[in-house]
Structures are given as C-alpha cells and as structure tokens.
Amino acid sequence: MTSHAHWRRLLLPAVILAAVLFLSGPVSAASESEAAYQVDLPSGDLQATLLSFARDHQVSIFFSKETVADITHEAVMGTYTLPELFEQLLGDACISYEFVRERLIAIVPGCQQAVAVAPVSVIENVLVEESAPASFVEEILVQEPHVTGTRLRNPSASFAMPLEVIDQTEIRLSGYQAVGELLRYVPAVSGNSASTLISNGGDGTASVTLRGLPASNTLVLLNGRRMNTDALRGGSVDLNTLPLGIVDRIEILKDGASAIYGSDAIAGVVNVITKQDINGLSIDAYTGQSAQGDLQTTHLSGLWGFEGERWSSALGMNYYDQSGVYSRDRTLSASSNDRSRGGIDKRSSAISPAWLGLSSGPVVLLESAPGVVPEDFRAITEDDRFEFRDFTSSIVPSTRLGGFASLQWDMGAQWLGYFEALYHQTESINTLAPTPLLSAFEPEPIIVDAQQVFNPFGEAVFDVRRRLLELGPRKQINDSETYRTVLGFRRETRRLSLDAAFTFNQTDAQETFRNGANAAQVALALDEDCAAPCVPLNIFGPGNSIDEHMSAFIGTDARIEGVSRTFGFTFDLDWVAKQTNQGDVELSTGFEYRRDELDTSPDQILRNNLLLGGGNRRAIKGSREIVEVYAEGLIPLAANRRFVERLDVQVAARVSRYSDFGFQVNPRLVLHWMPTKEITWRASGARGFRAPTLLQLFASSLQSFEQLNDPCTVASNVGSFLGCDLQSDPSLTQYLTITGGDAGLDPERSSTFSTGLVWRPKWRSNQLLFSADWYYIDSEDVVESSAQFVLNQNARLGRFENRVTRNVDGNLEMILATLQNIGRRKVSGYDLSGQVTWNMRDNGRLTLALNATHIVRFQDQFDPTSPSIDKAGTFSDEAAGGLGALPDWKIYTGLSWRHQHWQSHYTIYHVSSLREEIPLLETQRTISSWTTHNFNVSYLGPLSKWFRFTAGVNNLFDEAPPFSAAAFNDSYDGRTYDITGRYFFVKVDKSF
C-alpha cells in the first residue's frame, strides 16, 4: 500500500465527520433535561426498561419497586429529551418524575407535574428532595451498577478508578462474537494473549494480557467473583468459557488491585458482568465469513426472563461455531521460507523422503529411486526442506455451547437471596503437520541398526529426519466443560449492605493428539531384531514407503485430562460509619476463604515420553487454601469550597494467608480531588502480588520442540562466542526443550502507581469527556523461563552450562528451562481517552470516541546478573520465550451516528510499528504499522413489530498483517494481528 493510500484511509473518517457536521447545521447549547437521546425501547415492564436505559446512557434513576410494580409501557423509538421520554414511558400511570439534579431522576408515586427540585440532602448516598414524601424516602431502592475496583457503594469511589467500560452497545456494534476476540482490540492489551488465532502452540483457549504482562498478572472476574483457571495449562482464566451472548458489559480496571481482590491483580482486573435485569424473551442470530469464503461463523443466543410476585428468574443459551483458516490459504502465511522478505528459511529439515546422516555426510533419496542401494541417494542441499504450512491451521476451528440460569427471591425484611448457574462446553481442532522423526534429538535417541532390513548402507544411522506423511496430519483436539454456581444472600438498608455467598467453579478438560507416532514402537521397527509381531519400518524409501501395516504398528493417539476446581465463601459488609458536612465516611470489610485444585492425568504414552515429536507430560496434582481479610474506607476531607468541590481519600489493605507460602499484606492508598465540577484528579499507590500458579508449583516436566535460534549455527560466531566451539547444523530450527515447575517458588511482588485527570467541560454539546492517566508497575521476583535467553547466554558468554546440552558435533540436543524467581520488570506509560457527543436534533446523534495507550518503557531483566533491556516498541515471539508485541501505541477510534431507525458505526484500529531481531542474523528490522477499518449499519424498526438488522464489514480495506521475521506462526504475530482479511457479517435480534 502506498503512503498516499494509507493517508487517504486515515482521513476518511474525518471527511465523514466534517460532512455530517456540515449537513447537521448549528448545534445548540442544551441543558441535561433538554439533551436528546436516541432510543429504541420495546414494550414491556417499566422497571426493566428504566434500569436498561439508565445503564446504557449513564443516567441515574431512583425508584421503589412498589412504585413501578405491574406497570407496563408501549414501545418507544426515536429521538427524545428526557422529559419527553418519561412522558411517553409513564403515560397514564399515576406516577411522576422529578429532576433532582442533572442526570439524576427520581420516580415518585402520585399524579403530579414534573418539577425541578431545589434543596437537597444526602440519603443513602443519593440526592433526593428534602420535601419528598416520607414513604418515598423509606422505600427508595437504590439501583447502582457494580463498580470494579472497590467494595464501597458510594458513587464517589468509582471516580478515582481508571476504569474502562465496554457496554452492550459497543459489544453489539463491534461485530465480534467472543469475549477474548473483543478484548484483543482494547489498547491497554498487548503481549502474549492466547486466542484461537494461535495454532502451533495454542490449545483453543483465550486470555487477556493488560500492559503486556503475562496473562497471570491480570485478574478475570465474573460478576465480581473469581473464576477457576484453565484445567490443562493452569495459568489464567479461559475467556472462551464466557459466552458473549449473556454479557451485559465488561469493566476493565487498569490499576493494581491486590488490596481489593488479592493475588493476580498486578496489571489490572477484567470484570465480565452478565445480564441481570431480563424481562421477556430476546434472541439474536449472527453469521459471517471472510471475503475468501472461509472462517464461516455462526452465533445464536437467547435470553428469557420471567418473574413472580416475590421472585424473578432468567434462562439463557448460547451456541457458537467458527470454521478455521489454513496457513496455505493466505499469501503471507503460505510459506515458512522468509528469505525473499528479509527473514530466514524456517522450513523443517524433517523431510520426506528422509534426511539421512551418514558417516560420509547427509544424503537424501534421488527422485523416483526405490532407496534399496546407496547409489539411490544424493547429497543434501539447502533446498531439501519440508513446508509444514501446507498442513497447519492458521485460525483454529472451534465450537462452543452453553447455558446459564439466575434466580432472585425476596426473603422479606430487606433480605434478598440469589442463585447463578453457568455451563459452557468448548471444542477446538488444531491441525498440525504430520509427525516429524528427529531420531538424534528425541529424549531417548533412536538408532537405525546397520542390519535393519531396509537399511541399504550397511552402517548404523544415528541421525534420521523423516516426516511421517503416511500417518496423516496431526490433530490436536481440545475439549472442556465448565460449571459454575453461586448461592448468596444480600441485605440492603439505608446505611448498611451485607452480602454472603458460596461459589463453586470447575473445568474438566481433555487434550487428544491424533495421528501421532509411538517412539518406542518406532525404535523397535528400526532395530535389526524386529520380528513379528514387530513390523519393520522403511524410512529409506520414497514418500509412500511406509505402508498401512507399518503405520498401524507405529501410529498412536495420546490423551491428557485435567480438572481445575475452585470453591470459596465470601462475606462482605459495607456501612456508613458517619455523616459529615463533607460527605459520608464509608467503611467496608470482609472475609474470603478459597480452595484451588489442579489435577492433570496424562495417559501412558505422554507420561512415559513416548509421543514422537514432543508434547509429553507428567501428572500434576496440587492444591492450596487461601484465607483473606480486607478493609476499605472512604474518608471525605473537604467539599464545597473554593477549588475543592470534593476531596476524598480511600485506604484499603488485604491480609492473605496461603497454605503453600504463608502471609502477604498489601495496602492501597487513593486520592480523589475535584477542584471544580468539570475536573477530577486521581492518584493511587499500591503493593500487589501474584501467587505462583499450581501448574508452576507442581509441574514436574514438560517436553516440547521449541522454535529457537541457536547462535552457534552462524559460522562467524564459532570461536568468537565462548559457548560455540563447533558450528551446529543450520538446518535445525526446533529443539527439545524441558520446562517444569518448582514447589519452592515465591510470589511475585509489585508496586503500582497511577495518576490521572478527567475533564468534563461544559460546551455547546451535551456530552464531553476527556481523560489522561499515567501508570507505573515495578514487579520483582518475576517467575521466568526463557529457553531462548538461556541459549543465547550459553552461546555468547558460556553461562548456564548445566542447562544446555550439545552432542559431539556441536548440535544442540536439549535445553532445560525450568521456572525460577529471578526476573524483574518495570513498565510505565499513558492511557488517553475522549468522547464527544453531538445532539443534532433532526439529524440524530453523533459520537466520536478515542482510546489510546502509549508504552513509554518496558524494562525487562531476566535475572540479577543480566542487563535490563527496554522492550517497549519491540516484538519477540512467545515461541522463543519472548514477551510478544509491545507497541509504542495502540489506538482505537470510533465514530457512531444514530438517527430514528438507523445507526452506523465506523472504527479504526491502529498498532504502531515495532522493532524485531531477525533470527540468527542478529540484525534488526522494522515491522510495519497496521491500521484496519470496520464499518457497520443497523436498521431498527419498531421493535414490537420488527427485528433489528445489522450488516457490517471488518477490515474494510483488506489490510494484511505486517510480516514478521521473528514470528514462528505464519510469519506474523497472531496475538496482535488478524490474518482473516476482509470479513462480512449480518446479525438480527429481537426482544419480545
């Protein structure tokens, strides 16, 4: 793409915006009561509609259940001011509304005229009219959204939090149909997040990585409560177990929160909140596919809410099916030979016919030769490589099915009982190239005997590199089932809130490997004494020399099962301790007990290291118990003074006792200052920690063939590098890597600081919001395991001699990369966001939003004896032990327009350029920036009669990901970019 075309695409949204503003005419100043809102409210229960409108438009509406009980309303669609809207909704009902202040409306009983309320007082942390009827004050039901990052009910507590909210409207307009897929485009997310876009090395799970730190540094909650981790990898929550169809909003706290939530909340918290107030039936259906005809996606979901006199309930279902994309079907990923693009040749030396290492040098079979005499073979050339991407998945096919249920019942005396249940099943099928036989580099080297029946050379062959094409492509099938139940009781009064709940989470997962080879059977079949029932193996012939009897003898499947389980009890108490002229002093305290368990059980093939080509594992069984207590307080220091509209301080501390490593104490201090009503300044400082996962503690060993770059393959390094006495084979790119845990690991500890400004100016438009936040994270005792770092240090400096094993020829045989508490990271940067909304009266409502993150510094120090390296703006592949893409800038911009029955949404996603080191060449290159554009349009007919219809296209200009020389999977970073290309989708939904 030329630079002129690039700028035209960037300027297109600005042209659209200018045109819309020109056509709309002048925008008049408006008070909040005069602000126009575009609404599409179906007929139904008034209480559910009020809650839905308040949540979607950030308007506070207070009422008692008795006031609106059994009141229904007709469908309301179009552009309305708040007075006009409430007149439509309330109709002839004998209730009225009152503006307590801007964006705060009270629904009161009685047939009265709407009035503007003057004197106000503080009751239950909300403003109400002093002269309001006593019955209204006593019965008022405060409907507040859950706020991530604090246990306090006071709305002021949320102002001090750098909180990003992805609401229902944004979810619907995005076109994305999975939680993990949606979060990938959040600017604060970078690094090595997992998703189905990762094939080789992926397992069908999805994770989120705030600030570029590992997924285990981000705490994932569901409705404010912890979930269990993935059952096989055990490092983070699998986001694919959360069906997007039941999600109301996602709140992202971009600040350390160990004092509030305990372990893992170092980089921040992602709180997925499900739909709660459901009345009637709503259904939606989605289908889409890429412009190349693949990645067909179907998503169906339905929600049904119903209620009785003293109870309400909801049921839901979710079905998701996505076909995959193969590497061979995209130009960028079709070949692993990147030499023409400035990279290296990553094709495999495990070829068919076989690469054979003889005493006279390596040879390969001549074309059309039978391979029965030495003359049938020739010397190996650098082009004798295998293109594994002819077989591999690029985007993994996946299917998900789930359901959920909720129940709430009024127990009387202001007690409320509640119950939640979730079930979700996932399956993904990853296709890999046929099994490679690398006889000299297996955990137990395999030798072809000199007298083996098919050996034409009369000498033992120690190094055979043969791709076992006859077994077919390998299949990695991942299945999981997740169960979650919550049973709790809550009591709300004017001054006190009490909540107690039991939570149970369990995931059962299985990973099955199909079309593999049994290393022990292969060794027998290549032995000279192989006799029936042993079937000799012909690895010397052409590509079809392994017949069905040989395949049946060496072929195998393998399987590992895992269970991850979390059981817990929480008790939270919040109360107003004192009322002052500056505001309420509010305190919150609580207790939590939790038990985590992880149990994995590989079959005999995996347990005994018999799966050829890696993937072997040992059984893991571990558990821990956690007991925690916390306290949090909000103390108003001043209010209603010159340059001090409000000044608050929040303090919090959490004491945690882990059964496996003892006590942790983590404090937090937050300041919140409003010099004027339009400006808010916030600052926080906290200590945090991350407990080692059960997998990191109890995993004995895990074998894999990692894609690594051995510096000793470069001839110029031999003799000049302390660890390179001989040149190793440059055709080798994957090496046996042993990883594992350590029961003696300590927690990672962190210090986090943030400060920011929020500006809500009064302008001609109704709604403006701008914010800027600075963050700093310092993590110590980081649990590290980087095989590439160990290899580089060994080759260049001669370090880690006990972790690197080479044979007599200088070839790398094995790397030991077990976990240790030896690292340190310092990360800092900025978050910028802004939103401007124009109410254009007869021309609708226009919103322009910007969200951006800038990484200023990402200092990474592998161990205390190593230098600290700033990795901001760089890419290093996770397959080689790197931290992934850490772009200087990630920017997400959206332009939305809504008018009567129409709504459109245009977004731009931008990732700045990155620096990377070309493997083996030790030179740097630049990965180009990437900018994609999405557009969709919706038609919203009267919902009592019509469906809502949405059509859209993602990646409008079919922008391919930028090439990366250091990326192993498909020559690009699948954790940051998307190789799908232009993607079309349609969606219909309706509420009854």
The string of pLDDT tens digits covering residues 8-18 is 444 444 444 44
Q: Indicate if the pLDDT at residue 151 is higher than 90.
A: no
Condensed to tens digits (0 to 9), the pLDDT of residues 695-729 reads 888 876 777 777 788 999 988 899 899 999 999 98
Tell me the helix, strand and coil percentages in the chain, rounded to 5. 15, 50, 35
Condensed to tens digits (0 to 9), the pLDDT of residues 172-199 reads 888 888 998 999 999 999 998 888 777 7
Q: How far apart are CA 175 and CA 395, in angstroms?
A: 18
The pLDDT of 623-641, averaged and rounded, is 93
User: H or E element: which one contains 605?
Assistant: helix 604-607
Q: Indicate if the pLDDT at residue 248 is higher than 50.
A: yes
User: H or E element: which one contains 421?
Assistant: strand 415-432
Confidence band, pLDDT 50/70/90 cuts, at residue 499: very high
SS3 for 378?
strand
Q: How high is the pLDDT of residue 845?
A: 81
Confidence band, pLDDT 50/70/90 cuts, at residue 942: low
Confidence band, pLDDT 50/70/90 cuts, at residue 208: very high
Confidence band, pLDDT 50/70/90 cuts, at residue 35: low
Q: How many CB atoms lie within 10 A of CB 701?
A: 15
Q: How high is the pLDDT of residue 45?
A: 78
**Nearest-10 crossing angle of helices 46-57, 82-90:** 160
- C-beta of residue 578 within 8 angstroms of C-beta of residue 526: no
More confident residue, 763 or 5: 763
More confident residue, 143 or 478: 478
Q: How high is the pLDDT of residue 145?
A: 43
User: For residue 167, which of 145, 189, 187 has the smallest C-alpha distance?
Assistant: 145
Most confident of the following: 204-208, 268-272, 643-647, 920-924: 268-272
Q: Indicate if the pLDDT at residue 129 is higher than 60.
A: no
Condensed to tens digits (0 to 9), the pLDDT of residues 722-754 reads 999 999 988 887 888 888 788 888 999 999 999
Q: How high is the pLDDT of residue 111?
A: 55
329: Cβ contacts below 8 Å, ≥ 6 apart: 292, 294, 394
CATH number belonging to domain 163-327+396-432+476-515+570-609+628-652+664-991:
2.40.170.20
Q: How high is the pLDDT of residue 395?
A: 93
Q: Mean of the per-residue pLDDT values for the chain?
A: 85
The pLDDT of 866-878, averaged and rounded, is 91
- C-beta of residue 479 within 8 angstroms of C-beta of residue 509: yes
Residue type, 296: Q
Q: How far apart are CA 568 and CA 225, in angstroms?
A: 10
Can you read off the two tokens belonging to residue 339?
A: 């030499």
Q: How high is the pLDDT of residue 2?
A: 44
Q: How high is the pLDDT of residue 76?
A: 80
Confidence band, pLDDT 50/70/90 cuts, at residue 62: low
Q: How far apart are CA 413 and CA 936, in angstroms?
A: 49
Return the percentage of the chain with pLDDT > 90, whole number.
Answer: 54
Q: How high is the pLDDT of residue 705?
A: 77
Q: How high is the pLDDT of residue 744?
A: 85
Q: How high is the pLDDT of residue 36?
A: 59
Q: How far apart are CA 581 and CA 639, in angstroms?
A: 8
42: Cβ contacts below 8 Å, ≥ 6 apart: 75, 280, 943, 944, 991, 992
871: Cβ contacts below 8 Å, ≥ 6 apart: 858, 859, 860, 883, 886
Q: How far apart are CA 701 and CA 618, in angstroms?
A: 6
The pLDDT of 527-544, averaged and rounded, is 94
How many residues does the structure list for the chain? 992
Q: Return the minimum-mean-pLDDT range out of 43-52, 312-321, 565-574.
A: 43-52
942: Cβ contacts below 8 Å, ≥ 6 apart: 75, 77
Which of 3.90.550.10, 3.40.50.300, 2.60.40.10, 3.55.50.30 would CATH assign to domain 31-143?
3.55.50.30
Confidence band, pLDDT 50/70/90 cuts, at residue 863: confident
Q: How far is CA 385 from CA 382, 432, 466, in A?
A: 7, 17, 11
Q: How high is the pLDDT of residue 366?
A: 96
The pLDDT of 577-595, averaged and rounded, is 90
Confidence band, pLDDT 50/70/90 cuts, at residue 90: confident
Q: Domain spans of the chain?
A: 31-143, 163-327+396-432+476-515+570-609+628-652+664-991
Q: How far apart are CA 355 and CA 374, in angstroms?
A: 14
More confident residue, 443 or 145: 443
Q: How high is the pLDDT of residue 133?
A: 34
Q: How far apart are CA 915 and CA 917, in angstroms?
A: 7
Return the percentage of the chain with pLDDT > 70, whole number.
Answer: 88
Confidence band, pLDDT 50/70/90 cuts, at residue 764: low
Q: How high is the pLDDT of residue 17?
A: 42
Q: How far apart are CA 935 and CA 413, in angstroms?
A: 51
The pLDDT of 547-558, averaged and rounded, is 96
Q: Indicate if the pLDDT at residue 558 is higher than 90.
A: yes
Q: Indicate if the pLDDT at residue 314 is higher than 50.
A: yes
Confidence band, pLDDT 50/70/90 cuts, at residue 131: very low
Can you read off the two tokens belonging to residue 897?
A: 């327009």
Q: Indicate if the pLDDT at residue 139 is higher than 50.
A: no
Q: How high is the pLDDT of residue 944?
A: 45
Q: Indicate if the pLDDT at residue 528 is higher than 60.
A: yes
Can you read off the two tokens belonging to residue 385?
A: 């490589």
- C-beta of residue 397 within 8 angstroms of C-beta of residue 431: no
Condensed to tens digits (0 to 9), the pLDDT of residues 771-828 reads 999 999 999 999 888 888 889 889 988 888 888 999 888 999 889 888 888 889 999 9
- C-beta of residue 21 within 8 angstroms of C-beta of residue 839: no
Q: How far apart are CA 462 and CA 811, in angstroms?
A: 13
- C-beta of residue 154 within 8 angstroms of C-beta of residue 125: yes
